[in-house]
Amino acid sequence: MRSFRKREIPVADIMRRLYGGLVRFTVRRMETLRRKSRRPVEHIVGERRAALEEVLGVSINQAALYEEALTHRSYLQVKNDPTVQSNERLEFLGDAILGMVIAEYLFHHHEDVAEGELTKMRSWLVNKRSLAICARKLHLDEFMLMSYSAAAVLAKGNESVLADAVEALIAAVYLDRGFEQARTFIEERLLPLMLEERVMHDTNFKSLLLEHVQARGYSAPQYRVIEESGPDHEKQFTVAVYVGSASAGIGTGRSKKEAEQNAARQALEYLTSRSTPTTDPEEYLR
């Protein structure tokens, strides 16, 4: 009777097979990306492409990536084309890259700062307000594709649309030109704009307002939604913040949380401009 021995495959052969499979998968994936990039790029060709390259400080290879990064989800209803994608997936990737680059930058440039403070500093640099500041200074709104209603919301000062586009562009640069170019874009284009605006301070206005009023003996502020408007995909909330029974500020936003922060910021700006307060919050707000 013939006996069979289990054949031992050398580790080197296993590694070659795994590597070969990975290469084949990568080639197929790159071909898929190339096919996608062949669809017409209607927005950043010609003069607009050159202008975007100047804004980003990046030489664009795959224009479709940047078009996608600048496409707000509201534009999908306008275009009604299944090949057109919004920037939400790129935003997800760009957010992770931004957080890592900023964390590394703070780690090397603030060697005497403890972990807790580094975490706080990172949150100041990667939040939507900081990114929206960068987007406005780079005039990215001039390149974006969106619906008329979304553009109207943006004109009212909405920060999320612009912040999301910045994160998506970071991902586009990474996929197009590699990690080092994405790092350069963040450190040389975005960070200087953030630091110029002095964003390295606490922007949790709800927390700051709470500290402000409680230090003066008043009860915690109360937030109330006074209006909801817009379609479900572009909901707009208006919130009023009350100190005692008096309204101290009103803010709007795409979420209740954002509207509350904006209301708290307005209230804080108003209250800190007042003279020494009385023990009556309503008189304090007059």
pLDDT of residue 25: 52
> What's residue 182's pLDDT?
96
If asked whether residues 143 and 220 sit together in one domain, one would say no
Residues 84 and 149 in one domain: yes
Looking at the fold, whether 171 and 95 belong to one and the same domain comes out as yes
Q: If we measure between CA atoms, which residue out of 77, 67, 245 comes closest to residue 147?
A: 77
Residue 146 has pLDDT above 80, yes or no: yes
Q: 79-100: per-residue pLDDT in tens?
A: 777 778 899 999 999 999 999 9
For residues 192 and 210, membership in a common domain is answered with: no
Report whether pLDDT(166) > 80: yes
Per-residue model confidence as pLDDT tens digits over 182-196: 999 999 999 998 887
Domain of residue 98 covers 41-196
Structure token digits, residue 214 = 């409680």
- How confident is the model over 29-78, as pLDDT tens digits? 544 544 443 344 455 656 688 899 999 999 999 999 999 999 988 888 77
User: So what's the pLDDT on residue 28?
Assistant: 54
- Nearest residue to 241 (alpha-carbon basis) of 185, 283, 281, 182: 281
Query: Is residue 170's pLDDT more than 50?
Result: yes
H/E stretch holding 246: strand 246-253
Q: What is the mean pLDDT of residues 239-264?
A: 90
176 is catalytic: no
Based on the fold, state whether residues 126 and 242 are members of the same structural domain.
no
Looking at 143, 161, 196, the residue that finishes a domain is 196
- Asked if residue 77 is part of any domain, the answer here is yes
Question: Domain check: are 148 and 48 in the same one?
Answer: yes
CA angle 227, 233, 234 (to 5 degrees): 45
Give the SS3 label for residue 83: coil
Number of domains in the chain: 2
Are 219 and 244 in a shared domain? yes
Structural domain ending residue among the three candidates 173, 196, 219: 196
Annotated catalytic residue 167: yes
CATH code assigned at 242: 3.30.160.20
Catalytic one of 68, 95, 159, 164? 95
Q: Which long-range contacts (CB under 8 A, 24 or more apart) does 106-113 make?
A: none
What's the N-to-C CA distance of the chain in angstroms?
103
Which amino acid is it at 53? E
Same domain membership, residue 212 and residue 183 = no
Under DSSP, the state recorded for 188 is I
From the candidates 167, 176, 234, 260, give the one annotated as an active-site residue. 167
